[in-house]
Amino acid sequence: MLKPIPKRVLVTGENGQVGQSLKAMAQNYPQFAFYFAGREQFDLASDDTIKLFFSAQVFDAIIHCAAYTAVDKAESEPALANQINHLAVAHIAKLAKEQNALLIYLSTDYVFDGRASQPYDEAAQTCPINLYGQTKRDGERAIIAANPSALIVRTSWVYTKYGHNFVNTMLKLGRQRDELNVIYDQIGTPTYAPDLAAAILVMLNAELVGSSLEGLQSEKRTDKNVSIFHYTNEGVCSWYDFAQAVFEMAAIPCRLQPIESLAYPTPAQRPGYSLLSKARIKQAYGLQIPHWRESLARCLLYQGKRI
């Protein structure tokens, strides 16, 4: 009996935290032929290079992880942030539809203003308070307009052992200084990139191989709207709580001082509360989501002698 031909899956942002996490897990999914692409393959700042890239290749699914993520810098580079997070996304959404490819798009909690008092669900009204959030919200809207079969996954506070993120910054600064000030009045949930990547692969498998729940399949086939989901780890904390856990688990003696956001002004305003409800994604795909402290411990364990 012949084996089925693997589904061709493009992952953009191969050098990012989620992209690298997906690459590390790809071998566990032989039903997919993954193609990882970074800026060297096609530049999101140029619609011509995007079109040229897709003109020569056809995919069954596109996991669009690439984004302009420099939240503060976006305030001074609005055109570039808009091109990458909005206009390029609109282009990719149209190309995905033309190829009949499933599009999975990573978005952010920053599409919300942070004024809620309970976790945001997928139907909550978006109202970004910084330019980065505006461009990601506009990217969502472009997908909704161009590609009704796409999936949008909003997440928050992403970190992993790779690259620049809050955990690695705290590890570095904690070893260099005796005391640090960390904001305590911004509330949300950290997301360990490998956990998010694993969830995306469950979604991908369900959608392309057909093992998703009947309820979700029925909804997607009859609803004209894009399916939006939220994914973070379980639990809730402030940046101060998060830093404290990093130092505790890594046995770093640096003292932490909690400060208000007003005491640490930044070019881009951050939402004060961005907790995301994960009820829908757990029900739709049967996910068991780890608590953020459990995932942080796994991340620090992988750091090996760096701790």
Of 131, 89, 120, 51, nearest in space to 226 by CA: 89
Of 23, 17, 135, 128, nearest in space to 68 by CA: 135
Told to judge if 35 belongs to the known catalytic residues of this protein, a careful annotator would answer no
Q: Annotated catalytic residue: which of 105, 110, 132, 184?
A: 132
In this structure, what are the phi and psi dihedrals at residue 153, rounded to the nearest 5 degrees? -120, 110
DSSP 85: I
Cα of first residue to Cα of last residue in the chain, in angstroms, is: 50
Of 148, 302, 134, nearest in space to 226 by CA: 148
Q: How far apart are CA 294 and CA 158, in angstroms?
A: 15
93-96 long-range CB contacts below 8 Å, 24 or more apart? 93/142, 93/143, 93/146, 93/147, 93/150, 94/146, 94/147, 95/50, 95/51, 95/54, 96/59, 96/62, 96/147, 96/150
What residues are labeled active site?
A: 132
